[in-house]
Structure 1
Amino acid sequence: MTAAAPAPTAPAHGWRALSRLHGRIESHLEHALQTGHGLSTREYSLLDVLSRQHDGEGGHLQMKQVADSVVLSQSATTRLVTRLEDRGLLARYLCPTDRRGIYTNVSEAGLKLLEEARPTNDAALREALTEAAEDQQLASLVRAVEATRTPAVVGAA
């Protein structure tokens, strides 16, 4: 006779639902971005984050900040930057005040691709959320996502 597994805790249930929602959304976005623009969700996210940099104080992101923003390790982010740089979508340059620092900017070609892909991303996200809202276990999470209006500050803890 085997013992029955204990029922999952509320946080475990919540985590499973959040993981399912994330997977559904990411899969939907991945298909739409790859099909329409030849971009992965990670590539789109990186271009989006880097396109929001500015020339003011603290406006250019260090690689650790970029990695945190796209939820990748620093080494994976560096590889992703290299791939997009090889495609002509990004350019790296030395920090003018600290020669040890390397920054990355989105090229004109990258900005054009991002501008073309943004409506696809937004529509695919809306579709994925609408479909997920029909699942009773995910509906409250969809409402929470939709209620989040303030963009996260890049590099903030």
Structure 2
Amino acid sequence: MFLLLQIKRLKDLEKEKDALWSGLEVLETARLWYRQRLQENRARQDDVEAQSRLGSCQEGAAEARSCFLRSRILRVNGSLGSVMTEPNVMGCSSDPSLPEAVADADLRWHNSVLTQAVSDKNRQISMLELEKDALLGQLDELQAH
């Protein structure tokens, strides 16, 4: 009996090790993605600074994309933070029962769907605000002439 428990424990540890390696691969991919976004952000900042020295104005679409990307990054950061702070992420015999785990996963899924909907609405609001600003600028130009 003791030997069977040891074998089960070794199999559980092997599964946990595999999951941790998979997680490390995901984190490495995320790290590379973040690094690339940082480089792109720096390049865009340099472009904006160069344009502002020349008196150019920023494009609304680029600003909306930046807002959308920022909201996505914040959401991913929050998800990574919750994964890192949750105890017993792998699940073991002391975890809640299966129905409770399913209900929890279902709530998390609904939360992510609602979060995505809010992000989409925020993006739409940002686009509309940029469009409004452009129209107000055009109105000011027309009134000046």
TM bracket (short chain): 0.3 to 0.5
TM-score, with length taken from structure 1: 0.30
Greater strand share, 1 or 2?
Answer: 1
Larger radius of gyration: 2
TM-score, with length taken from structure 2: 0.33
The structure, 1 or 2, with the larger RCO (C-alpha pairs under 8 Å, 6+ apart) is: 2
Greater helix share, 1 or 2?
Answer: 2
